[in-house]
Amino acid sequence: MQITYTEDQITKVAGQLIQEVSSKTLCFHGEMGAGKTTLIKALVKQLGAVDEANSPTFGIVNEYHKADETLLAYHFDFYRLNDENEAYDLGIEDYFNTDAWLFMEWPEKIAAILPLDAVHIQIEVVDFNTRKLSF
């Protein structure tokens, strides 16, 4: 599926994505500045998180909860990882074994250990305001 959108349409796109994906493990691919974090922020909001999503670049992983404090999602940014062993050091297998949504930026850094049911989402920059998402 392909969706072309602008930032003012991102809430609708996030809702559509939640309905269409076949897994709660989503891998976001795209160049720096393509809008991966922006889309993940919209997904987290659409799912009902009380926390506002932000990039976990330096902390590697952020977690988000519902109002009743139930765990909703984990958001990973693997950009700074050097290899898959660093993901194992983070306890990545434990995250894979939860029922939470998993949103992963730069998943190519851990490609060999990604779950087989992960949905890969490519985000391309069309122009300054427009992105194309495909999965």
Helical segments of the chain, H only: 10-20, 36-46, 84-89, 92-96
Q: pLDDT at residue 128 above 80?
A: yes
**Position 30 confidence tier, pLDDT thresholds 50, 70, 90:** very high
pTM score: 0.94
Average the pLDDT over 84-111 and give the result.
96
Q: Residue 70: give its domain's CATH number.
A: 3.40.50.300
- Domain hosting 129: range is 2-134
Q: Which of 11, 18, 16, 3 is nearest to 72 (CA)?
A: 18
Q: Which of 76, 78, 4, 79 is nearest to 40 (CA)?
A: 76
What confidence score (pLDDT) does residue 53 get? 85
The total of structural domains in the chain comes to: 1
- At residue 29, the 3 state secondary structure works out as strand
**Position 51 confidence tier, pLDDT thresholds 50, 70, 90:** confident
**Position 130 confidence tier, pLDDT thresholds 50, 70, 90:** very high
